[in-house]
Amino acid sequence: MNSREQAFKRIKAAIEPELILSAANALVANGDSLPLLRKLPDRSVSLVLTDPPYHATKKRNIYGDTAFAEDQHYLEWMAEYAVEWRRVLRSNGSLFCFCDSSMSGRLDVLFSKNFNVLSHVVWTKPNDPGFDGWKGKMKKEALRQWYPHSERILFAEPATEGNLFRSPFALFLRDVRKRAGLSMHQLTAKIGAHGKVNHGGAVSNWEDGRNTPSREQYEKMRKALMETGKVELMPPYEDVVRPFVMDASKEFTDVWTFPSVRPYKGKHPAEKPAAMLEHAIEATTFPGDIVLDCFGGGGSTALAALKLKRRTVSMEIEATWAAEIASRVEDATEADAPFLSPARNGNGHALPRINGNKARQLALFTVGK
């Protein structure tokens, strides 16, 4: 059993009583995600991709959006999540947290206690007239600031205490290289990755956290370090290097252009576009990785993760929305039987299908015994 599979089983065991869906690669829990999150094992998740209530938008149809009288209370609440997200993330994991542009600066300061905040992604929506919120309708002369036509997505990697500017991988590499008794220059020479400008070449860049080695470069480095006889074990690439899979054909800048989800019956009021979530997940995870969403809504994160053959854990406080996530995950996984096996609850009983008027059983896909 690989480490992701083990972690997934441990997560399942930790939140079993709150699970309303337990499938081979998908868990859906109904409850307040903060206490649920506190039950999760350390370093068990590869990606936290989550979309909390924005607080600034004060939407009454989103649980929690009007819950905080003052900004500070919201920030204190988010700070509790940040500590837990740091704890449950693997050292090569990533965090995406959606927020309103008016809160992003203060959230950055807060997250920076536990994370290196790498990007403030600006999500802009090229929506057609009639589907562009107040943009078309509102009186422009009445504006007193630029009309907020974007949302923010903070992207961050776990930081190491006392050294916020070095990634865990950078620190790991420095430690293991020193243990092997090699200078940066020597290790660079051994793997043939000399930079043209920098004396330490690629290794120096990696240790500074400026970029990361490819799989091939890492394998060469692994071999070179172990050949010194001073390093016994080097973890596999997937367990140590934070994935960032990008090329010129993708949205590689920090301005993301994805249309909002058009209204449809059953749409969550804050549903995020599937293509955008897939973009985020594909770039920052390996297949099989565990993607956690603490504010599941209508389940868009879970569906994107499953489509990309990742494992998914969703938490949602509202029973009807949690049931909707379970139902959508069920529908998605039915089409993908080899990836998932039938769903059962913690007692091994088949779970009832929860979605409103559909009465049939959740004859779904559970973790193989």
Please, what is the minimum distance in Å from the beta carbon of residue 268 to ligand SAM?
A: 4
Please, what is the minimum distance in Å from the beta carbon of residue 152 to ligand SAM?
A: 13
Selection from 321, 304, 319, 327 nearest residue 268 by Cα:
321
132 binds ligand SAM (CB under 6 A): no
Site for ligand SAM in 192-221 (CB under 6 A): none
Please, what is the minimum distance in Å from the beta carbon of residue 329 to ligand SAM?
A: 13
Please, what is the minimum distance in Å from the beta carbon of residue 89 to ligand SAM?
A: 18
Of positions 20, 276, 315, 332, contacts ligand SAM by CB under 6 A: 315
64 binds ligand SAM (CB under 6 A): yes
Strand order of the sheet with strand 89-99?
Answer: 19-22, 26-30, 311-316, 290-293, 45-50, 89-99, 150-158, 115-124, 255-257
By beta-carbon distance, which residue lies closest to ligand SAM?
297
The smaller minimum CB distance to ligand SAM, of residues 92 and 284, is found at 284
Rounded-to-integer distance, Cα 365 and Cα 330, Å: 8
- Beta bridge partner(s), residue 318: none
27 three-class SS: strand
What are the Cα distances from residue 231, in Å, to 144, 181, 183, 218, 228? 61, 10, 15, 15, 7
Of positions 84, 207, 289, 316, contacts ligand SAM by CB under 6 A: 316
Q: Find all residues with CB under 8 Å of 244, minimum gap 6, and list them.
A: 212, 283, 284
Please, what is the minimum distance in Å from the beta carbon of residue 183 to ligand SAM?
A: 47
The smaller minimum CB distance to ligand SAM, of residues 74 and 321, is found at 321
The smaller minimum CB distance to ligand SAM, of residues 4 and 311, is found at 311
**Rg of the chain on CA atoms, in Å:** 22
Site for ligand SAM in 318-347 (CB under 6 A): 318, 321
Please report, as a single letter, which amino acid is at residue 343.
A
32 binds ligand SAM (CB under 6 A): yes
- Supply φ then ψ for residue 150, to 5 degrees: -145, 165
Selection from 102, 89, 105, 8 nearest residue 50 by Cα:
89
Tell me which residues touch ligand SAM (CB under 6 A): 32-34, 51, 53, 62-64, 268, 270-272, 294-295, 297-298, 300, 315-318, 321
